[in-house]
Amino acid sequence: MSLGAWELPEELRMVREVTRRFMREEVRPLEEKLDHDCYEMPREMLAPLQKQARELGLWCFRTPRDLGGGGLNLLGQAIVAEEAARCRMGAYVPACGAFGADPPNAILKGTPLQIERYALPAVQAGKRVFVAISEPSGGSDPARAIRTRAEKKGDRYFINGQKMWITGAAKADWGIVFARTGAGGERAGISCFIVDGNAKGMTTKPIPVIRSYHPYEVFFDNVEVPEENRLGEEGQGFAICEKWLVEGRIPYAAGTLGIAQGALEIAIEWAKTRETFRSKLADKQAIQWMIADSEMELRAARLLVWQAAWTADLGRDPKTDASVAKVVATETAGRVVDRAIQIMGGLGVTKALPLERWYRELRIKRIGEGPSEVQRMVLARSLLGAGSKR
């Protein structure tokens, strides 16, 4: 995979190689022993992998080193995210969970007590976390869609409402919940709260979707939260998490490219060996062009992801670059996997290969973290100026 004159820094090349080898030699052989649609590796298999990941510096690679994480910059995160996705469950659980689960970096803007009580256990002991933004009324425009309310009484808040499409809510140890504390439909009226996973009055209900793992509806019925669990100032909740929402799209996009790269490699190997009509598939122009198109699109998408990461690492606003990268990467990945299935024929839609699972998983990726249409809107408004509202 040549990138011409542009090359990664040596440190990140080493990180990529270590991650790639770990996935190839340690993670994927264990995953092959699991059910095709499995989304969680048994603890007895996972624990040794996590121990190795800690030793390699890949544990919670988005989290700062002083909290026990890998402390990678965004370009490094994109590199690792792409390699970590190259397993059957990689679209949902990178590295099958071997690298741990980073807490949302919004918690790092919390008080020392919040960091000690919630962030540290998430990194050091693998505590699970959810983030609840979306609601039945919509998730792409939270400034107007959020109707869940948090009413303050004395030194406590009482949360009432409903969230939807929340990943990991049922088994989480704690979560970050956005609720309206002010009037109207603006972002300034949204506050952010840390809610314990076993909080009285909070219940969850799975939402069946096209993949084996479901998101959840989360219901809040007078859920009591102490004032000390408010993250940041009242009314500033959305501003606290906006940076996380934007930057999170970059490793999210990179992960889809790892899946697509794996699919392309499967298709290439099949084309080299499969014979139809007295010649190899690799000799047929239709197949050659599908493979060539996939490679060209992957190269372009990868560089866009890296550019977005580099922009953020330079301290510049990556908002539009992240939107571009997210759309191009997720849509490219979907096309590449679709072509791989076409090249494989009937075998491509069987559970003998990961392709059909990746196909289902990647369809969700075009919606999650802000759908393609919203990202196009972000870019269009940037190009056309603030006066463009539609």
Which residues are part of the catalytic machinery?
369
CA 334 to chain centre: 16
CA 327 to chain centre: 14
Question: Tokens 């949204």 map to which residue?
Answer: 190
**Strand, helix or coil at 31?**
helix
Distance in angstroms between the alpha carbons of the first and the last residue of the chain: 40
Alpha-carbon distance 273 to 243, whole Å?
47
Cα atoms found within 13 Å of the Cα of residue 247, Cβ hemisphere only: 23
Residue 225 neighbours by CB distance under 10 Å: 21
Nearest in space to 153 (alpha carbons), one of 212, 225, 257:
225
